Amino acid sequence: MPRVNKSQISRDLGALRVLEDARLNVLADQEAKVAPLRARFNAASAPFLLEAQGLLAPLAVEMREIEARIEKEMLAGVGADGVIAVREVVAAGAIASVEQASTRTLDPAKLFAEVPEPERDLKFWGCVNVLIGAVDKAFGARFAAITLKKFAKARVSIRYVPIGTVGEGVL
- Tell me what the mean pLDDT of segment 38-60 comes to: 84
Note whether 68 and 125 are same-domain residues: no
Residue 93 sits in the same domain as residue 158: yes
Domain count, the chain: 2
Question: Looking at the structure, do residues 163 and 135 belong to the same domain, yes or no?
Answer: no
- Report the pLDDT averaged over residues 91-118: 80
**Is the same domain home to 68 and 23?**
yes
The pLDDT of residue 100 is 78
Average pLDDT, the chain: 82
Residue 83 has pLDDT above 90, yes or no: no
The reported pLDDT for the residue numbered 28 is 95
Report angle CA 133, 138, 143 to the nearest 5 degrees.
65
The answer on 160 and 131 residing in a single domain is no
Q: Is the pLDDT of residue 116 over 70?
A: yes
Strand order through the sheet with 88-91: 154-160, 94-100, 88-91, 169-170
131, part of any domain: yes
Checking if the pLDDT of 74 tops 80, the result is yes
Summarize the confidence of residues 78-95 as an average pLDDT. Answer: 85
Confirm whether 125 is domain-assigned.
yes
Question: 57 and 41: one domain?
Answer: yes
Q: Is residue 131 pLDDT above 60, yes or no?
A: yes
If asked whether residues 31 and 96 sit together in one domain, one would say yes
Q: What are the residues facing 169 on neighbouring strands?
A: 90
The pLDDT confidence band at residue 70, using thresholds 50, 70 and 90, is: very high
Give the residue ranges of DSSP H helices in 39-152: 46-76, 108-114, 122-125, 132-139
Pair (85, 32) in one structural domain: yes
- Rounded to two decimals, the pTM is 0.48
In a domain, residue 77? The reply is yes
> What domain range is 141 assigned to?
108-146
Task: Give the mean model confidence (pLDDT) for residues 58-81.
Answer: 91
Measured over the CA atoms of residue 27, residue 33, residue 37 and residue 39, the dihedral's sign is positive
Same domain, 138 and 159: no
Within a domain: residue 1? no
Beta carbons within 8 Å of 155's beta carbon, 6+ residues apart: 98, 99, 100
DSSP 118: G
